[in-house]
Homo-oligomer: A and B are copies of this chain.
């Protein structure tokens, strides 16, 4: 599925089957998810640079922190211990969903905010009832995509200290041009997506972590967690949190040193802090460019590429 830019706020749905694109008959992906009608009519022209995020706005975005390795590193870098409960009780926040960036939109912000990217896997669900089991949650997964969960690192500590989660420190994020039916993904095991999440910063490999490794909580577990006390509407997006791999049970190494690298700058800074006492890599500055994509075993780009450049506010 792809959503092409058009006049309305929800774009125009295009569906690919057997290598050719056609327009969705119901207009938008949200309506297709609401009605279950993914019918098509008329050949569509789809180019990545004309794509919006598959859901240009959504009724819900819940982002987990499923790669607990990442969470442990955050804590370690600031000398705090991670509660043992974090290994069996998912960390998740209610994210803003009222307007996502297109995959090629600039990231506009004040560099003093500490702008960072986070490479993630995300799923779009159908309706999920309150109290749904893990199996019901698994059956509700409709589409898989990639996410750049933009984070404003210098605003996070102050905001989290207030105790109510993120508002200002998590601005609009972006998703990959294409959202894909998991049944057609060879790397999908029903709960996790196996494959290397490629992240390049300014043309250099920054992250090559395997999204199927070290994911403590799989998507059905995250969805069931979210649905414990309420129904989830069709079109709910659930994110994995920053993809992060361990190396021999410890923190990873940069790609340039033969490691799997990192899916966000903050994690590289944590490793630097743990190693040398201080971070070295700066957060994003105007002109910096981040690209996020995943290839299948044949080297084909599965979801298209999130390709964003930072612009000053």
Contacts and interface: CB of A to CB of B under 8 A. Distances in A.
Contact of A225 (B98, B163, B168): B168
A171 interface: yes
Interface of A: 8-9, 34, 57-60, 62, 65, 86, 89, 91-99, 108-109, 113, 130-131, 152, 155, 160, 162-169, 171-172, 225-226, 228-233, 235-236, 313
Contact of A152 (B226, B229, B233): B229
A230 to B, nearest CB: 4
Contacts of A160: 163-164
B96 A230 contact: yes
A114 to B, nearest CB: 11
A166 B108 contact: no
A145 B2 CA distance: 36
A interface secondary structure, majority: loop
A92 B230 contact: no
A91 B34 contact: no
Contacts of A162: 86, 89, 91
Contacts of A168: 225-226, 228-229
Given A152-B229, A164-B166, A165-B164, A93 B94 contact: yes
A230 B99 CA distance: 9
Contacts of A89: 162
A57 B98 CA distance: 12
B155 A229 contact: yes
A118 to B, nearest CB: 14
Nearest to A237: B98
Nearest to A155: B229
A171 B93 CA distance: 14
A93 B229 contact: no
Given A130-B108, A166-B164, A167-B94, A99 B9 contact: no
Given A131-B313, A166-B165, A230-B171, A94 B91 contact: no
A58 B230 CA distance: 15
Contacts of A93: 94, 164-165, 167
Nearest to A93: B164
Contacts of A155: 229
Contacts of A86: 162
A59 B97 CA distance: 6
Nearest to A85: B162
A175 to B, nearest CB: 15
A130 B109 CA distance: 10
